[in-house]
Amino acid sequence: MRAFVVRQYKGPLQEADVPEPVVGEHDVLVQVRAAGLNVLDEKIRAGEFRQILPYKLPQILGNDVAGTVVRVGAKVRGFRPGDEVFGRPDKDRIGTFAERIAVAEADLAFKPVSVSLEEAASLPLVALTAWQALVERGNLRPGQRVLIHAGAGGVGTIAIQLAKYLGATVATTVSAGNAEFVRELGADFVIDYRSQDFEQLVEGYDLVLDSLGGKNLEKSLRVLRPGGKAIGIAGPPDSAFARELGANPLLRLVMTALSARIRRQARHLGVTYEFLFMRASGDQLRQISALVDSGALRPVVGRVFDFDQTAQAVQSLDKGGIRGKAVISRP
Q: d(Cα 314, Cα 78) in Å, to the nearest integer?
A: 33
What local confidence, expressed as pLDDT, does residue 158 receive? Answer: 98
Please state the φ and ψ torsions of residue 104, each to the nearest 5 degrees: -60, 140
First to last CA, the chain: 15
Q: How many helices (H) and strands (E) does the chain have?
A: 12, 16
In this structure, which amino acid lies at residue 91? K
Spell out the per-residue pLDDT of the chain, length 331, in tens: 999 999 999 999 999 999 999 999 999 999 999 999 999 999 999 998 887 788 999 999 999 999 999 999 999 999 999 999 999 999 999 999 999 999 999 999 999 999 999 999 999 999 999 999 999 999 999 999 999 999 999 999 999 999 999 999 999 999 999 999 999 999 999 999 999 999 999 999 999 999 999 999 999 999 999 999 999 999 888 878 878 777 778 878 888 888 899 999 999 999 999 999 999 999 999 999 999 999 999 999 999 999 999 999 999 988 878 999 999 999 8
Cβ atoms of 18 and 98 within 8 Å: the answer is: yes
Q: d(Cα 89, Cα 279) in Å, to the nearest integer?
A: 9
Domains belonging to the chain, first-starting first, are 2-123+299-329 (3.90.180.10), 125-275 (3.40.50.720)
Cβ atoms of 206 and 146 within 8 Å: the answer is: yes
